[in-house]
């Protein structure tokens, strides 16, 4: 079992993981905001740009698996500190890359560190509060990710200029500065293991009685992150294709992230409410409405574009926060890190698929509005899996994991 922190230690832990999530969001979007200056500096062709973007995403898949195992075996605090140190050092390494191969290697290793951090962030946030407040605690933590993305965009706008390296240096220093406060101020989250642990993990994650729950969770993460990462990667280009200036597209990306932070907090509160299944269904219905409205934004209407960007950010990040809030409640403490790490890894596969499929569809002649409409059934599948998961747990009377 995982040790329970008292109220003061729990609040301190939640504040620290919120800061860590801001830094994670900053580094996740660092490559995207540096790309306009980095691409000409290295004279990259489109295939190389795609590999550069994908390198960190592939690293996230491996990192999430490793981070979950470390969290359960050596403790959440240790796992988070190692992950922060890893993506901090490799982000700085990215800034000093002098060849394309070096650039890709550094982004892959940065992604491993970023991926390892998230299962630990989720587990610490869930375990820092009482069970009935876990949804909002995880959502509060996750709200830091889009805020970090907005911060990266702001740093790029005011400080990047002609030097693409700045964003990676800042993104590397920030996590390193948090490692020592994390060790000093956060109480350890220890997990007691025994010889039955491997069998216990198999039974809890893939046993016949829980297999449907795990499959539903994985499906929700996979399809949900297709939508999230397609929008994160392609939203500026979609807006430009719809007739908006690049400066407007950048502003929409910022309000997308700010709206996402607000949506994440709201999503967590709804998850902890009395009717989480209904709240989840309404959240996904709102996401589908937001996607449709974005597709219908009149060309040249900046206020409409900003409003649509904020709405879609609030809904898509809000429903993703629901999933991050549900995941740690599906597993008991001794396997929570592995369970969440596997779900996040499956989701990261979706985050790879989404941008690649979008690029293929656009290259085949599909317009930006049609691309957005293709997201509607994907969002519906994610929503159905999420609602069924919640209803199934309520119907079977399975209590929230301690």
In order, the DSSP letters of 64-79 are: HHHHHHHHHHH-HHHH
Q: CA 351 → CA 40, 156, 176, 311, distances in Å?
A: 26, 24, 26, 21
List CB contacts of 282: < 8 A, sequence separation 6 or more: none
Q: What is the pLDDT of residue 204?
A: 60
Q: Is the pLDDT of residue 397 over 60?
A: no
Three-class secondary structure of residue 364 per DSSP: coil
Quickly tell me which residue has 């306009």 as its tokens.
36
pTM greater than 0.85? no
Query: What DSSP string runs through 133-181?
Result: GHHHHHHHHHHHHHHHHHHHHHHIIIIITT-THHHHHHHHHHHHHHHHH
> pLDDT-derived band of residue 259, with 50, 70 and 90 as boundaries?
very high
d(CA 245, CA 119): 38
Rounded Cα distance, 121 and 117, in Å: 6
Which range (9-23, 70-84, 199-213, 301-315) has the least confidence? 199-213
For residues 178 and 21, the answer to whether their CB atoms sit within 8 Å is no
175 versus 402: the higher-pLDDT residue is 175
Give the residue extent of every domain in the chain. Answer: 7-183+198-396
> Residue 399: which residues within 8 A CB-CB, separation 6 or more?
none
DSSP secondary structure string, 179-221?
HHHHHHHSPP--B---TTHHHHHHHHHHSTTTHHHHHHHHHHH
Mean pLDDT, residues 353-374? 84
26 confidence band (pLDDT: 50, 70, 90):
very high
- DSSP letter assigned to residue 400: P
Structure confidence at residue 37 (pLDDT) = 81
**What does the pLDDT read at residue 163?**
80
- CA torsion sign, 350 to 386 to 145 to 204? negative
pLDDT digits (tens, 9 = 90+) for 204-254: 666 656 788 889 999 999 999 999 888 877 787 788 778 888 778 878 888
For residue 175, the number of C-alpha atoms closer than 13 Å in the C-beta half-sphere is: 31
The Cα 66–Cα 113 span in angstroms is: 9
| Segment 371-375 mean pLDDT | 91
Q: Can you tell me the mean pLDDT for 33-58?
A: 82
- pLDDT, residue 54, reads 79
CB-CB contact of 384 with 223 (8 Å): no
CATH topology of domain 7-183+198-396: Growth Hormone; Chain: A; (1.20.1250)
pLDDT at 3 over 50: no
- Kindly state the average pLDDT of the residues 115-130: 87
Alpha-carbon gap, residue 119 to 69, rounded angstroms: 9
Return the higher-pLDDT residue of 47 and 151: 151
Tell me, what's the pLDDT at 195? Answer: 43
Using N-to-C axis directions, what is the helix angle for 30-42 and 100-127, rounded to 10°?
180
Confidence of residue 190 (pLDDT cuts 50, 70, 90): low
């Amino acid at each position: 079992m995982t040790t329970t922190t008292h109220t003061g230690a729990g609040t301190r832990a939640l504040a620290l993981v919120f800061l860590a999530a801001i830094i994670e969001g900053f580094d996740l979007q660092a490559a995207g905001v540096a790309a306009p200056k980095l691409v000409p500096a290295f004279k990259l062709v489109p295939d190389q740009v795609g590999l550069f973007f994908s390198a960190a995403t592939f690293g996230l898949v491996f990192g999430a698996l490793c981070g979950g195992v470390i969290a359960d075996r050596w403790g959440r605090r240790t796992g988070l500190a190692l992950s922060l140190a890893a993506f901090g050092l490799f982000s700085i390494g990215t800034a000093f890359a002098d060849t394309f191969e070096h650039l890709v290697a550094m982004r892959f290793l940065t992604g491993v560190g970023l991926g390892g951090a998230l299962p630990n962030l989720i587990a610490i946030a869930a375990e820092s509060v009482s069970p009935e407040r876990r949804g909002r605690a995880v959502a509060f933590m996750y709200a830091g990710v889009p805020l970090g993305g907005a911060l990266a965009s702001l740093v790029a706008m005011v400080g990047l200029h002609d030097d693409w390296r700045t964003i990676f240096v800042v993104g590397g220093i920030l996590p390193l500065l948090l490692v020592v406060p994390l060790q000093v101020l956060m109480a350890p989250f220890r997990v007691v293991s025994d010889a039955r642990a491997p069998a216990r993990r198999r039974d809890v994650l893939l046993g016949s009685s829980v297999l449907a729950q795990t499959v539903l969770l994985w499906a929700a993460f996979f399809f949900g992150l297709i939508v999230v990462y397609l929008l994160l990667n392609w939203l500026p280009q979609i807006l430009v294709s719809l007739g908006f200036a690049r400066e407007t597209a950048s502003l929409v990306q910022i309000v997308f992230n700010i709206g996402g932070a607000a949506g994440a907090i709201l999503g967590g509160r709804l998850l902890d409410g009395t009717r989480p299944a209904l709240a989840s269904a309404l959240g996904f219905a709102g996401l589908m409405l937001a996607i449709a409205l974005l597709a219908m934004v009149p060309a040249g209407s900046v206020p409409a574009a900003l409003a649509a960007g904020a709405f879609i950010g609030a809904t898509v990040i809000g429903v993703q926060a629901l999933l991050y809030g549900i995941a740690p409640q599906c597993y008991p403490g001794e396997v929570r890190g592995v369970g969440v790490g596997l779900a996040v890894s499956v989701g990261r596969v979706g985050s790879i698929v989404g941008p690649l499929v979008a690029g293929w569809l656009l290259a085949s002649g599909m317009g930006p509005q049609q691309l957005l409409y293709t997201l509607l059934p994907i969002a519906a599948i994610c929503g159905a899996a999420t609602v069924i998961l919640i209803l199934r747990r309520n119907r079977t009377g399975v209590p929230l994991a301690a």
